[in-house]
């Protein structure tokens, strides 16, 4: 199996599938973590502290970054290859074939939006938390402790344009996951006609959970900032 992961189309797809699965798992973990911020700011900050600049959190971050990088680089390689395979002359008339999801044909665009969102997110949070610790700092540019994630959330999502940008990001992620989640099963061969409806249903559930889980934190913190007394309940 010397290098089929890099020289065969199916091998490359396997890499996409496995890194994708890994990223989905991370996202689910991240979402659960975020949700604690809704229940208790202290609990959330405890997690933040746990994931500071220590070796296991850094190792995790490195693996994660590698996962994102590999997923993205392979996506670019595959897309370029696919573009070439399509030939130079394109159809004058194209249609959406029946039963073909829009997301499935726009995974790269969606992926790029997700990646841009990620960059914004790293700037908003990671640069003010783990990075600060890594550089030996004890307070970030906003003056908060790098482990005070809850304060950072409250600060960021009190600004409406971040709320909008993050929601767009999550929407792109939703589309990406509706295709990506069932697709990774297909790519490793764990699918058949009986399971397609089930897998697609699971994909939609996962995508929707992820969207709702992340969006809830953003929206609720925004509402809290608008109406601090009741957190928007009024």
In terms of CB distance, is 9 or 40 closer to another protein?
9
Do residues 202 and 182 touch, judged by C-beta distance below 8 A? yes
Q: Scanning the structure block, which residue is given the tokens 């994660």?
A: 64
Region class of 206: left (phi > 0), else alpha (psi between -120 and 50), else beta? alpha
Exactly one of 6, 40, 104, 159 binds another protein (CB under 8 A); that residue is: 104
Do residues 197 and 129 touch, judged by C-beta distance below 8 A? no
Exactly one of 46, 101, 216, 223 binds another protein (CB under 8 A); that residue is: 101
Read off the tokens for 76.
């670019």
Q: Scanning the structure block, which residue is given the tokens 């994931």?
A: 51
Nearest distance from residue 192's CB to another protein, in Å? Answer: 4
Exactly one of 39, 56, 97, 234 binds another protein (CB under 8 A); that residue is: 97
Rounded distance between C-alpha atoms, residue 124 and residue 83, angstroms: 35
Rounded distance between C-alpha atoms, residue 38 and residue 85, angstroms: 48
Chain positions 73 to 92 lying near another protein, rule: CB under 8 A, are: 78, 81-82, 84-92
Rounded distance between C-alpha atoms, residue 187 and residue 173, angstroms: 20
Q: Scanning the structure block, which residue is given the tokens 């599938």?
A: 17
Q: Tell me if 136 contacts another protein by CB under 8 A.
A: no
Q: Scanning the structure block, which residue is given the tokens 């697609």?
A: 200
Chain positions 169 to 198 lying near another protein, rule: CB under 8 A, are: 179, 182-183, 186-193, 196
Rounded distance between C-alpha atoms, residue 215 and residue 18, angstroms: 26
**In terms of Cα–Cα distance, which of 126, 217, 138 is closest to 170?**
217
Nearest distance from residue 67's CB to another protein, in Å? Answer: 19
Exactly one of 42, 55, 56, 95 binds another protein (CB under 8 A); that residue is: 95
In terms of CB distance, is 141 or 192 closer to another protein?
192
- The site map against another protein for 14-33 (x = CB under 8 A) is x-------------------
In terms of CB distance, is 163 or 206 closer to another protein?
206
Tell me how crowded residue 103 is: count the other CB atoms within 10 A of its CB: 20
Residues making contact with another protein (CB under 8 A): 1-2, 4, 7-14, 78, 81-82, 84-95, 97-101, 104-105, 107, 179, 182-183, 186-193, 196
């Amino acid at each position: 199996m010397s290098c089929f992961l890099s020289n065969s189309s199916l091998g490359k797809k396997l890499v996409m599938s496995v890194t994708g699965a890994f990223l989905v798992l991370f996202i689910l973990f991240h979402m659960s973590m975020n949700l604690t911020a809704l229940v208790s700011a202290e609990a959330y900050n405890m997690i933040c502290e746990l994931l500071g600049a220590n070796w296991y959190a850094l190792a995790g971050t490195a693996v994660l970054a590698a996962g994102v990088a590999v997923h993205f680089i392979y996506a670019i390689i595959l897309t370029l290859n696919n573009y070439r395979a399509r030939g130079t002359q394109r159809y004058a008339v194209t249609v959406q074939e029946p039963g073909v999801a829009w997301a499935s044909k726009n995974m790269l665009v969606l992926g790029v939006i997700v990646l841009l969102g990620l960059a914004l997110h790293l700037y908003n949070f990671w640069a003010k938390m783990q990075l600060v610790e890594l550089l030996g700092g004890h307070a970030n540019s906003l003056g908060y402790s790098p482990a005070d994630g809850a304060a950072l959330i409250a600060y960021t999502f009190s600004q409406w344009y971040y709320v909008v940008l993050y929601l767009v990001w999550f929407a792109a992620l939703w589309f990406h996951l509706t295709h990506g989640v069932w697709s990774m099963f297909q790519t490793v061969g764990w699918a058949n006609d009986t399971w397609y409806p089930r897998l697609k249903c699971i994909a939609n559930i996962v995508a929707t959970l992820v969207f709702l889980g992340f969006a809830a934190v953003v929206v609720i913190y925004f509402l809290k900032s608008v109406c601090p007394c009741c957190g928007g309940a009024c």
